[in-house]
Every structure is written in structure tokens, then in C-alpha cells.
A and B are shown apart, each in its own frame.
Chain A
Amino acid sequence: MKITIENTEAKFIIRLADTSVILGQRLAEMCSSGPFLEEDIALSNIGLDLFGRAEELYKIVAKLDGNKFTPDDYVFRRNEREYYNLKLVEQPNDDFAYVIVRQFMHDVYVKEVFTQLLNSSNTELAGLAEKVLKEIRYSHLHCKDWMNRLGLGTEESNRRMQSAVDHLMKYVEEIFNFDDLDKKYLTDCEKLKTVWNNEIETTLNESNLKRNLVAPLTMRDYRDGFHSEHMGHLLSIMQYLPRAYPDAKW
């Protein structure tokens, strides 16, 4: 089955859906591997939110494209190069600091994206945006707390946070290389960039962390389906069962 996306708006929305499901998968990997019970539950709950959000977004994509495919088709039957998520969210859970910094960077980004989508002419998308903004509040607060706590914690926790920030910052530049689709469906791309940079810098400052200059990665854009090496491994685990047993039901 070859999954195609024809509608222009669907092509834009699937980026958000893919970003949501891939980050959800990364958090699902943390289930039962959290540093302590409450945090384990927190990460799993945030992961659930992301899966739920992705499903609703894929439904809108499917509808715009004549309901040829289901959310499950989009998630389980596309290959790496057919996925359009931010490279940031596919980065592995190398360290708890990575999990937190990645989530925080993501949350600040989607918070502004969905704020802008409140004005979408697609009423379903605008309605969904309202719901997403309610749900994201808790995840955002949670990660901000951790940013402060670990940044201002011990020498070791600060060092690991700084290392996560430096590493993950390499995947940020592409987020703001807006294309025509971004410009068409977001109300203010430049504002998205400013809001993101401001909040990240404020939080880093108050957490005794720095935004070091990082060499931009010479990787091609996520909007064209390009990924880091981790994406294929992630999909192979996530898609194994439905690909091995295509008609499996439970």
C-alpha cells in the first residue's frame, strides 16, 4: 500500500501529526524506565496525550484527503522518508536530561503553533487546537520545572543538562526554515521563531544553562522527509507488529 497525501493543507497538518506520534513513541519507550515511579507515570501520561493528539490530527488529514487511509495506515504503513516529523523529536532517550530538554523544546514550539492555529479557517483544526492548548499546559509546566531543577541542581545535573541542550540545539535550525506551507497555514512564522527563542533563552538563563553557538547540521530538511539515523530504528520497533501481522486485531 502506497500512502499518498494530495491535499495541501493535509501536507501541512501531517507534519504536526508525525511530530506528535514520534515523540509519543519516544516517551512510550520510557514507560517502566523512568527515574522514579511518579516520573514514569508522568512521561507515560504525556506520551498518551501525544498519541491522542496525533490520532485526531491524522483523522483531519484523512478527511481532507478523501478518507482513503486511516490513522493506523499513516502511522504503521509509511517508511522513514514518508514521515515529516521534526528531527528533534526522533532523537533517542540517551539520558533523562535529553528527554526533558527535547520535551521542553517541543512543548514551547507546539504551544505557539497551536495558538496560531486557533485562527485556522479549518474549524475542526481550530477546535482541536483549543483542546491541545489545554492539554499541553501540564506537560509544559512539568518540563519547565525539571529544566530549573536540574539546571540549578548539582554540578553533575547541570553538566548533563548543558550537554543535552548543546546536542539537541543542532536539530533546531530546520524548524524555522519555513516553507510556503508553513507561511500559508501559520498566521505568523516570524513570531513563532521569536516566541520560541525568547522562552528558551529565558528558561536557560534562569536554570544556569547557556545557549552555546552550535554548528548547524548539514542535513536536509524534515519537510522533505529527511531524518537522522535514529528514525529507521524507531520505526522498526514501532511498526514491527502491524507489518508482521497486518490483520492483527485486539
Chain B
Amino acid sequence: MVEEKTYNHLWEILSEVPDPEIPVINLVELGVIRKIEEQPDQDKIIVTITPTYMGCPAKKLFNDLIIEKLNSRGYMNVEIISQNHPVWTTDWLSEETKTKLLNEGISPPTIGDKIITCPHCKSTNTKMVSQFGSTPCQSLYKCNECLEPFNYFKCY
């Protein structure tokens, strides 16, 4: 019981760490944090993370932010293990997270990049401007209805 409580508590703490580039969602929602283990005998926390993209500039920052957050709550001995497999996928984003993204002006990923919704007027009559957007995980789109540009979170 005690373990279970700590375990959930640690997940809650890490839910407070925002994604550095898309601060409206946190690292748990992004699916980056895969596993949190506690080794009470060594007073150590092991966090397993899966990076979103191999070349993501925020990759190193993720580690620092996680360690900083846990340290601030008194967990001083933190180890981070980075694993590439299973491969991170946008399927790990929940519907709730996708709604958050949409409300924040980022169109959430859809399977096969088929139906892209404009976050401003919710029209699906949209057009890609550039495959590559402001961060490696986003594309630049334009809405044909309200004519506003917006970012689309690419499907991986």
C-alpha cells in the first residue's frame, strides 16, 4: 500500500513538469515518461524515458527538468534511463491531451495526417504550407476558411 501511494505520488510530481516547447502539456501526457521505479533501500528513483524524436533539441532538457523537479521534492538520488524501444508514437497522446493541444492553437495529430482541423475556427478545410514547422514535431498549415496559419503536431 505504501509503495503504491509513493508510486502515484511520483507520477503526480512529474505531471508538473511542462514540455519545454509546448508548455500546455506535461511530460507524462506527452508519453515521454514510461516508468518510475523506486529503490527504497538505496533511496533512489529510476525514471525511464523515451525521447519523442531522436534529434529533439529538448531531449537533454527533459532529463534536467525531471531531476530538478524530483530534487525540489526531496528525492536527491535520481537516475534517468533513456530507451528508444518501444518507439515513441503520437498514439500515446490521450484524447484529453489532444483537446488541450487544439485549445492551445496546435492541431493534434491524426492518423496518416489526413484530416487536419484548424484550431481557430475548427474547419477541416486546411492546407499544408510546409512539412516542417517551428519545432521538429510540427508542420505549418493554413486554414482555407478563416485564412489563419497554425501548427500541426505531426503524426509519428
Interface residues on A, range: 20 to 34
Asked whether A41 lies within 8 Å of B132 as measured between CB atoms, the reply is: yes
Asked whether A124 lies within 8 Å of B85 as measured between CB atoms, the reply is: yes
How far, in whole Å, are A48 and B51 apart by their CA atoms in the complex? 14
Main secondary structure of the interface of B (DSSP, over half): loop
| B129 interface contact, C-beta 8 A | yes
Q: Name the contact of A131 in the complex, choosing from B87, B130, B131, B140 (C-beta under 8 A).
A: B87
Q: Known contacts A124-B85, A127-B85: does B132 contact A42 (CB below 8 Å)?
A: yes
How far, in whole Å, are A203 and B132 apart by their CA atoms in the complex? 22
Residues on the A chain within 8 Å of B129, using CB = 38
Q: Known contacts A38-B140, A138-B131, A138-B132: does B54 contact A52 (CB below 8 Å)?
A: yes
Residues on the B chain within 8 Å of A49, using CB = 53-55, 136
Residues on the B chain within 8 Å of A4, using CB = none
| B42 interface contact, C-beta 8 A | no
Asked whether A56 lies within 8 Å of B136 as measured between CB atoms, the reply is: no
CB proximity to B under 8 Å, residues A89-128: 123-124, 126-128
Q: Name the contact of B85 in the complex, choosing from A45, A123, A135, A142 (C-beta under 8 A).
A: A123
Residues on the B chain within 8 Å of A56, using CB = 54, 84
Asked whether B85 lies within 8 Å of A41 as measured between CB atoms, the reply is: no
CB proximity to B under 8 Å, residues A45-74: 45-53, 55-56
Interface residues on B, range: 20 to 34
Asked whether B55 lies within 8 Å of A53 as measured between CB atoms, the reply is: yes
CB proximity to A under 8 Å, residues B43-61: 53-57, 59
How far, in whole Å, are A52 and B130 apart by their CA atoms in the complex? 22
How far, in whole Å, are A169 and B134 apart by their CA atoms in the complex? 33
How far, in whole Å, are A222 and B154 apart by their CA atoms in the complex? 35
Asked whether B85 lies within 8 Å of A130 as measured between CB atoms, the reply is: yes
How far, in whole Å, are A125 and B72 apart by their CA atoms in the complex? 36
Residues on the A chain within 8 Å of B131, using CB = 42, 138, 141-142
Q: Name the contact of A52 in the complex, choosing from B56, B85, B140, B154 (C-beta under 8 A).
A: B56
Asked whether B54 lies within 8 Å of A135 as measured between CB atoms, the reply is: yes
Q: Name the contact of A55 in the complex, choosing from B54, B130, B154 (C-beta under 8 A).
A: B54
How far, in whole Å, are A56 and B130 apart by their CA atoms in the complex? 27
CB proximity to B under 8 Å, residues A140-198: 141-142
| A134 interface contact, C-beta 8 A | yes
Which residue of A is nearest B90, CB measured? A134
How far, in whole Å, are A14 and B70 apart by their CA atoms in the complex? 37
| B31 interface contact, C-beta 8 A | no
Which residue of B is nearest A128, CB measured? B84
Asked whether B136 lies within 8 Å of A45 as measured between CB atoms, the reply is: yes
8 A-B pairs with C-beta separation under 8 A: A39-B130, A47-B55, A48-B56, A48-B57, A51-B55, A124-B84, A131-B85, A138-B154
Binding site for A on B (CB under 8 A): 53-57, 59, 84-89, 129-134, 136, 140, 154, 156
